[in-house]
A and B are shown apart, each in its own frame.
Chain A
């Protein structure tokens, strides 16, 4: 097959020049067309594609330079344009260059050489074309995912940035949809990677279909870029950009269509599989001012949708950021906390208001992470409970507290007992009593020196089970205290059925105990009823003298709180115990004064 002859358009108002050049180039084997002025030349260029255009400079109407500039603008930088200029006309050669001409030929044209000249030009044009094609291939590799042919993460980031700019300039919103396939990992693991790849390709084409159908809501000028709006940014994670929307609901419509399209049974070999997508939606600029914030929040919304119910979509809302993201990070960091030695215990002394001596130390868990800093227990304990990390962490606390108590005992420090908080999960764990026994044996701590604190709400959640576990624990010989008492709405009658030694009155009551009214009455009632049940009462969170005096008035025996001592690092707790041992003399009031002062 012989290649098609290269096509050339000659634009010249001089009929003699036209006929001569046409003859010379036809003779050289080119397919030659002619135009008698600039307008005609542009018309012909727009009607068909020429491999090269030869332009006379001086023509009535549009000049050669004007035609050249227009062609350059309309047909890109690769169309070879040759200006035919006067021999001595340096100005016009300069102007031709500025107008974007590829080369110039001066008059009178050397006819014998014209064909060769054009052939040389076409060759360098071909080289430029090949280079451009290679460049396109490279950019295709760098910016597209080879499995699905969709734009990849790098491309997506660029596209999102410009889509945000464009929408912003036009005072419109942009929606970002983050799509994750719910059960992809399981399919990939059970059916193999090639099945996983096939599934991803199929998903990509379904997504394309769903997103393309949504272009109607987009802006006309962005429809051309429709394929750029969908990208594969990770293993089974896709992103859809919806620029120029006017209301968030439009993104919801697209999300629904995507869910409908994806959630169709699919054949993979002899298996039929059903994949559902979870979709998170964030709207610019409301949900994120820049692409980073927007991606983060769409991702977060996706995570929420998936947790709530796979196969659904969720719009981002600010509370997700407040809790959700932090929780994810906390969980991730918490996993390594024990191994990295990031956990520690502080000890808050409990005082016997009657004797002014320390009667116990409550072990309080602290976590300091390199990146997160000091994370309060109120933040990481719920995460630990949800993620299953509570069991190993709880065990660590138990071991560490027992070992510390033994160390103090070995120094003959006056410690009555050490109190350790036990979560509901630990309590529900089979063999918890056995674990406590083992830890006590290993540490050598006498059981009666260990107090386990269990919150009232945990006790009340599963009374039958808890009663049994508490009985097992009591048999070992440890003390049992009910923590946060007063908040769990338990009846004293039922409390009787549990083998408990102590009640710790929740700080919310303690802090209002010297007020008049209901709070004081409740605290008073708790203390007197505890006395009836022969339980000791510990007041938690004592913060000022007024509270302390009110508690003493109510004949509350034990107290702990900032007024008496804040939680102390192990070494500081040791120093406190040492000081108390050395100053054991004097009256109760003197001892308490020394303590507070």
Chain B
């Protein structure tokens, strides 16, 4: 169970496996601010995300395994922000939950979220590859 902590920007988003791995409206918003007209920013952002996503996931998992709450909260925080930026809202919500739990010193409470993390991460990565493939 994820602590909500007044984060109203999650509200109204679909939850669980049934939701899109990546919210298409976020990508539309990115396209709308694309100085080149919409064709290049989204792929560029997604590639940047992919470059660090695996390593970041690994960092979160390692921190949890070591029960290093400070490191865990820092790593999860960074991913919350990145995922939010590309519209990977479900993944962002998981990271956010982990960040809050670890910041509040309840590292164990993050356990179910960590378990879900890998599966959601893969969903996002696959979706990104699809989009990048479409764009190519």
Spell out A's residues near B (CB within 8 Å). 13-17, 19-20, 23-24, 26-28, 58, 86-88, 107-112, 114-115
Contact = CB atoms under 8 A, between A and B. Distances in A.
B12 interface: no
- Which of the listed residues A13, A58, A87 has the most CB atoms from chain B within 10 Å of its own CB? A87
B82 A58 contact: no
14 contacts: A14-B78, A14-B81, A15-B48, A17-B81, A19-B48, A20-B45, A27-B34, A58-B78, A86-B80, A88-B7, A108-B9, A112-B29, A112-B32, A115-B33
B77 interface: yes
A15 B50 CA distance: 11
Q: Which label, helix, strand, loop or mixed, suits the secondary structure of the A interface?
A: helix
Contacts of B6: 88
A20 B85 contact: yes
Interface string B95-131: 0000010000000000000000000000000000000
Contacts of A107: 80-81, 84
A27 B6 CA distance: 31
Nearest to A108: B84
B2 interface: no
Nearest to A28: B33
A114 B32 CA distance: 12
Contacts of B45: 16, 19-20, 23
Contact of B74 (A20, A58, A112): A58
Contacts, number: 70
B2 to A, nearest CB: 12
Given A14-B78, A17-B82, A108-B9, A26 B30 contact: no
B81 A111 contact: no
Contacts of B30: 20, 23, 111
Interface in B63-104: 74, 77-78, 80-82, 84-86, 92, 100
B67 to A, nearest CB: 21
Contacts of B52: 15
Contacts of B80: 86, 107
Given A16-B45, A58-B77, A111 B32 contact: yes
Interface of B: 5-7, 9, 29-30, 32-35, 41, 44-45, 48-49, 51-52, 74, 77-78, 80-82, 84-86, 92, 100
A112 B33 contact: yes
A512 B87 CA distance: 117
A23 B77 contact: no
A108 to B, nearest CB: 4
Given A23-B30, A27-B34, 12 more contacts: A14-B81, A14-B82, A16-B48, A19-B41, A20-B30, A20-B33, A23-B41, A86-B80, A88-B7, A107-B81, A109-B85, A112-B33
A358 to B, nearest CB: 110
Contacts of A111: 29-30, 32-33
Contacts of B32: 111-112
A97 to B, nearest CB: 19
Nearest to A59: B78
A13 B77 CA distance: 12
A107 B80 CA distance: 9
Contacts of A86: 77, 80-81
Contacts of B77: 58, 86
Contact of B81 (A28, A108, A115): A108
A13 B74 CA distance: 12
A24 B81 CA distance: 16
B55 to A, nearest CB: 12
A16 B86 contact: yes
Nearest to A57: B77
Contacts of A114: 33
A20 B32 CA distance: 11
A226 B34 CA distance: 52
A92 to B, nearest CB: 10
Contact of A108 (B41, B78, B85, B100): B85
- Which of the listed residues B32, B48, B74, B86 has the most CB atoms from chain A within 10 Å of its own CB? B48
Contacts of B48: 15-16, 19
Contacts of B44: 19
B49 A87 contact: no
Contact of B35 (A14, A23, A58, A87): A23
Nearest to B3: A88
Contacts of A23: 30, 33-35, 41, 45
Given A16-B49, A19-B44, A108-B9, A27 B81 contact: no
Complex A-B, nearest 4 residue pairs according to Cβ-Cβ distance, in ascending order: A108-B84, A24-B33, A16-B82, A27-B33
Contacts of B82: 14, 16-17
Contacts of B35: 23, 26-27
A24 B33 CA distance: 5
A55 to B, nearest CB: 14
Contacts of A112: 29, 32-33
Contact of B85 (A16, A26, A87, A115): A16
Nearest to B44: A19
- Which of the listed residues B30, B44, B81, B92 has the most CB atoms from chain A within 10 Å of its own CB? B81
A505 B108 CA distance: 118
A111 B9 CA distance: 14
A112 B51 CA distance: 26
A514 B78 CA distance: 111
A88 B48 CA distance: 26
Nearest to A115: B33
Contacts of B9: 87, 108
B49 to A, nearest CB: 5
Contact of B5 (A19, A88, A110): A88
Contacts of A26: 35
A87 B80 CA distance: 11
A28 B33 CA distance: 8
A111 B38 CA distance: 14
Nearest to A114: B33
A13 B86 CA distance: 16
A14 B35 CA distance: 20
Contacts of A115: 33
Nearest to B40: A23
Contacts of A58: 74, 77-78
A564 to B, nearest CB: 105
